[in-house]
Amino acid sequence: PAGLPLVEQCTRVSEKLARLDEVVNFFSDMVDRNGHQRDTLLRDLVAALREARMLVQDQLGRLELLLSDQHARYQEDLEDIRNRAILEQNELQARQQRRLDHVFAAAKLSVEEARRRAASDMDAFVERVDTDLQHLDDRSDVLATLRDRMKSCTSEAQNEIRTTLAHYTLRDPESDPGAQPQWSSS
């Protein structure tokens, strides 16, 4: 029967072969009997051997079909596993690409903002220095004023960078699908 497990199928084939062995032993015993009785028994024996051979061949054919069916199912399962792995890999690559694009866009916005701030800060610095220099009469005070202004601007820039790094992080587009590339409070 096709629905039986492989081990049971093999066991049945083995039993059929054992019966065949019994028939051969029976045949061997018949050789020693008288002629008429022997001929009848031989005909019966040949018929039994043919029947046993057909049964064994039938069982082996069914076993081969069962093995082929199982092999086909395993191949389909393997193909499904491969396809799922490819889909998962593609999804992972797409997710990583979106993250990379998001980080790049946020970094680009950050650089543009830093550039705008630097230009604005430099304009303000030049204006303050120019204002301070207009009120100074002594040239020795000009150098001291420039140094003080540079230290002040450098200190302000450092504090602003520290504050930004301490209080802001990039938003992950996977956790917030509608997120625009920008800085957000953590």
Spell out the SS3 assignment of 41-82. Answer: HHHHHHHHHHHHHHHHHHHHHHHHHHHHHHHHHHHHHHHHHH
- Do 71 and 140 fall into the same domain? no
Question: Domain range for residue 175?
Answer: 102-185
- Do 17 and 59 fall into the same domain? yes
Q: How far apart are CA 153 and CA 13, in angstroms?
A: 94
The total number of structural domains that make up the chain: 2
Contact 19, 56 (CB under 8 A): no
Which residues partner with 168 through β-bridges? 185
Spell out the SS3 assignment of 105-172. Answer: HHHHHHHHHHHHHHHHHHHHHHHHHHHHHHHCCCHHHHHHHHHHHHHHHHHHHHHHHHHHHHHEEECC
Walking along the chain (186 residues) 10 residues at a time, the average pLDDT comes out as 65 76 72 68 80 83 86 94 97 93 82 79 76 66 68 67 53 51 42
In a domain, 16, yes or no: yes
Q: Is the pTM of this model over 0.85?
A: no
Model pLDDT, residue 168: 45
In a domain, 153, yes or no: yes
